[in-house]
């Protein structure tokens, strides 16, 4: 995970959009990509976040750059989802069709079924709320209280969404294991 801590001894300050792009660009891009699931939308989302930072639309709280940036990104993402609700975000996932031969080793087959692209495709197939909670928790590394703040829901809802998100991922990625089992 990208370290967003300010340099030791450096006074906290509100980062500029150029700071974000220059110093935390990879971190921001990773969140954007995991949320949107493709490079085109990720680039749009990153630019939207930088625009919001440039306009000072989000108040920076010194010491919580990860949470602050995640909150802006989440808000921008969810705003876009609401604006583009016609887009098929919740379609059946486009997981690769894989048929394993009878001689395949089950462990190797399972390993192959969980390549990063497969996992990303499964994440993208999750409902927006589940996906957002999952990305904030397991990609960004926020705790539940921070996720609740970023998404504007109670902590209990975060618990539920995370559990269901992981359960759905398990279902999406799991059948491959079942196919090769005895």
Partner 1 sequence: MSGSWDGQHPHDLLAAYGDGELGVAERMAVAAHLAGCRACRAELSDAIEIRALVRSLPDIEPPAGFYERVLVAGPSPRGRTHRRARVAAVNLVAAGALWIGVLGVLGVRDGTSITPDLRSLLGQHTTLATVGSGAAAPVPVAAPRSLSGDYVLVRAMTVDGWPQYLYEDAEGRTLSVFARPGRLREEALPTTRRAVAVNGVSGWAVTIDEQEVVFLQKPGSVVVLVGDDMRDATADAAMEPILERRDDLGIVDQLVGAGRALLETFGLAA
Cβ 70 to partner 1, closest distance in Å?
Answer: 15
Quick one: residue 154, left, alpha or beta (phi over 0 = left, psi -120 to 50 = alpha)?
A: beta
Which one of 40, 91, 97, 182 is in contact with partner 1 (CB under 8 A)?
Answer: 40
Q: Which of residues 122-181 bind partner 1 (CB under 8 A)?
A: 123, 134, 137-139, 143-144, 156, 159-160, 162-164, 166-167, 169-170, 173-174
CA distance 135 to 1: 13
Q: Does 4 bind partner 1 (CB under 8 A)?
A: no
Residue 162 neighbours by CB under 8 Å, 6+ apart: 130, 133, 134, 137, 144
Q: Which of residues 77-106 bind partner 1 (CB under 8 A)?
A: 80, 83-84, 86
Taking CA 87 as the corner, what is the angle to CA 141 and CA 150, rounded to the nearest 5 degrees?
Answer: 25
Q: Is 34 exposed, middle or buried (0-12, 13-18, 19+ CB in 10 A)?
A: buried
Q: Does 27 bind partner 1 (CB under 8 A)?
A: yes
Q: Does 112 bind partner 1 (CB under 8 A)?
A: no
Distance of CA 143 to the CA centre of its chain: 14
* Helix (H) or strand (E) segment spanning residue 48: helix 39-54
Cβ 9 to partner 1, closest distance in Å?
Answer: 26
Q: Which of 6-14, 90-98, 99-107, 113-121 is the region at the interface with partner 1 (rule: CB under 8 A)?
A: 113-121
Q: Which of 5-13, 26-34, 58-66, 95-103 is the region at the interface with partner 1 (rule: CB under 8 A)?
A: 26-34
Residue 105 DSSP code = -
CA distance 144 to 77: 19
Binding site for partner 1 (CB under 8 A): 2, 17-18, 21-22, 25-27, 29-30, 33-34, 39-40, 42-44, 46-48, 50-52, 54-55, 80, 83-84, 86, 114, 116, 119-120, 123, 134, 137-139, 143-144, 156, 159-160, 162-164, 166-167, 169-170, 173-174
């Amino acid at each position: 995970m990208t370290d967003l801590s300010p340099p030791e001894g450096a006074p906290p300050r509100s980062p500029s959009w150029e700071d974000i792009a220059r110093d935390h660009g990879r971190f921001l891009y990773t969140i954007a990509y995991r949320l949107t699931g493709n490079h085109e939308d990720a680039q749009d989302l990153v630019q939207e976040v930088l625009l919001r930072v440039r306009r000072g639309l989000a108040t920076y709280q010194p010491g919580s750059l990860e949470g602050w940036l995640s909150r802006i990104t989440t808000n921008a993402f969810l705003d876009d989802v609401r604006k583009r609700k016609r887009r098929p975000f919740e379609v059946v996932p486009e997981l690769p069709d894989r048929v394993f031969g009878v001689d395949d080793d089950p462990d190797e087959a399972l390993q192959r079924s969980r390549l990063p692209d497969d996992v990303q495709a499964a994440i993208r197939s999750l409902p927006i709320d589940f996906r957002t909670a999952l990305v904030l928790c397991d990609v960004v590394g926020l705790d539940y209280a921070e996720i609740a703040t970023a998404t504007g829901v109670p902590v209990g809802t975060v618990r539920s969404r995370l559990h269901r998100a992981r359960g759905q991922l398990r279902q999406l990625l799991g059948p491959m294991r079942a196919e090769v089992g005895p």
